[in-house]
Structure 1
Amino acid sequence: MSATQPRSNAKKTPQDDVLFDRELEDLPAALRWREWMPRVEAVIFACDQPVSRETLARVVGRNCSVDLLIDDLIEELRDRPYELVSVAGGWQHRTRVRFGETIRASSAPTRSAAAVLSEFEAMVLMAIGYLQPITRGDLSKIFGKEVSRDTIASLRDAGFVASGPRSPTPGAPYSCVTTKHFLSAFGMETLGDLPNIEALENAGLSGRETIAAEPFDPADDLDGEAVA
């Protein structure tokens, strides 16, 4: 590594722990807390994905409660246009929903613009979310039309889908599963936060009626193909 190359990707050494004072034992308890709070917020602000409790614990004292720090930060941000939210097993800064129209009107580029999916891609993603792990062949049977490799690749490129365990069916194709980014993008902590599918259907939001049925031969050997 050259002298001018940043050390952000360098492997952490025991010396780093010595140089970084996590405990702040020279400060009174109240001041330690006030120093730990902005440390935690700075890490969350700098990261483009939800930050786990374990990660945040690296910048505060051993006996510091990360959860209580987060509670205090949430309270401090109560009157701000952004907040801390718990998603995908960690915490992330999010603009409050009521400012969404303002941001869109500004046409300003955002730090984490969500991928724009076609209606069919969104339907396939929804099916994967509810039925995972599921193969591309099984998705094609559900929709009555081929779910192409390109469709799965688009969802993978957007960070929503990854390869799951192989199916026990002939050819042992890889299944599709959702990712932590999927949870984060849709503001969910776990897959248990997915809306009840029956409630969606009753509200007319399942979108099944929008799927344009096209001839699909179930004999097509899709199950023998891994996710592209």
Structure 2
Amino acid sequence: MIGPRRSLRPLSPAFAKSQIGRSSETCELQRGRMRSGPLFVLKDTIDDSKIAANGTLVRSKRLARLEAVLLISRTPLSPKKVAQQAGLVDGKEAQQLIELLNTSYDMTNSAFRIERTATGFLMMTRPTLVTWLDRLHQRQSQMKLSQPMMETLTIVAYQQPITRAAVESIRGVQSSDMIRQLIDRSLVRVGGEEDSLGRPFLYVTTRQFLDMFGLGRVEDLPDYETIGRQREVKMVGDEDLSEAAGAESANAAEPTSPESEDPADQQAA
């Protein structure tokens, strides 16, 4: 089943440091010295935020504003939107500062991390803490999915595009009501029609689904590629079985020659 959020793999300090200032002409990694030890400085003509070797971050006013914007936002924000809300130059600067924040979060084992979803950046609580948060606060009822709904959503997510009949074949029960509720919550939508008799609707997940589960794309689902390959193998196998069944039916429909009839039948005739 799909979990409420994907697992985050903490960056090692060495790798995290190597990412600061990556692919930037105005941002370069420089090493300095302070009483606390080596210091990593985000050199920029505007921002002077600094991150120490132990992960401690000296925040500039610009970085603090960006962090505050992401902290209070309930929906993902594009880099351009973050820059506008935090009073930054542009989306590029916003992404640089987000990268710096994440480096500090990872090095200090923070409870938060800024993740990029399909529609923008969103500050999230690390998955390991979700259980503790659930004990303190009840999730919003409109976003709480029942077991049948979660089961249906999982099938659509991993098998999309998929018809209602195919969902019901996997679940073994009628699923039109579950699909309708998922559509009402903007987690599933009609993505087209199947080129078959009756042209049934094909259902796919939405961007809100990706945002809800902290995914950048459908392929980020756990074991998505493995399950996708299993589906392809199954579909090929089904086609082979269909061809074999068709050939068998054709043979059964052929008229039987008199020579091949049972002698008892000939005698009776």
TM-score bracket relative to the smaller structure = 0.5 to 0.7
Q: Which has the larger radius of gyration?
A: 2
Could you tell me how far apart the structure 1 residues matched to 2:90 and 2:130 are?
38
Structure 1 range deviating more: 48-57 or 126-135: 48-57
Q: Secondary structure at the match of 1:29?
A: coil
- Establish whether residue 167 from structure 1 lines up as the match of residue 184 from structure 2: no
- Verify: 1:117 aligned to 2:128, yes or no: no
Q: Give the share of equivalent positions with the same residue, in percent.
A: 26
Q: Which amino acid aligns with 2:202?
A: S
Cα shift readout 1:149-203 (whole Å, capped 9, x = no counterpart)? x111222233321221233334433321111222222232211112226867xxx
| d(CA) in 1 for partners of 2:140, 2:188 | 21
Structure 2 partner of 1:34: 60
Q: 1:166, 1:173 within 8 Å by CA — same for their partners in 2?
A: yes
- Following TM superposition, the consecutive aligned residue runs of length 4 or more in structure 1 with deviations greater than 4 angstroms are 109-114, 197-200
Give the deviation of 1:111 after TM superposition. 7.1
Amino acid at match of 2:212: A
In 2, Cα distance between the equivalents of 1:86 and 1:76?
17
Distance 1:47 1:198, change over 3 A: closer
Alignment partner, residue 115 of structure 2: 85
Give the gaps of 5 or more residues in structure 2: 1-44, 50-58, 228-269
Report if aligned partners of 1:48, 1:112 keep a CA contact under 8 Å in 2.
Answer: no
> What are the residue-to-residue correspondences of 1:23-172 with 2, within 5 Å?
29-30=46-47, 34-58=60-84, 59-62=87-90, 64-77=92-105, 78-106=108-136, 108-109=137-138, 114-118=143-147, 120-148=148-176, 150-172=177-199
1 or 2, which has the higher helix percentage?
2
Cα distance in structure 2, aligned partners of 1:36 and 1:112:
36
Within 5 Å, give how 1:178-193 maps onto structure 2.
Answer: 178-193=205-220
- In 2, the alpha carbon distance for the partners of 1:128 and 1:198 equals 15
CA contact (8 A) 1:89 1:190 kept: no
5+ residue gaps, structure 1? 1-27, 201-228
Q: Residue 131 of structure 2 aligns to which amino acid in structure 1?
A: E
- Normalising by structure 2, we get a TM-score of 0.52
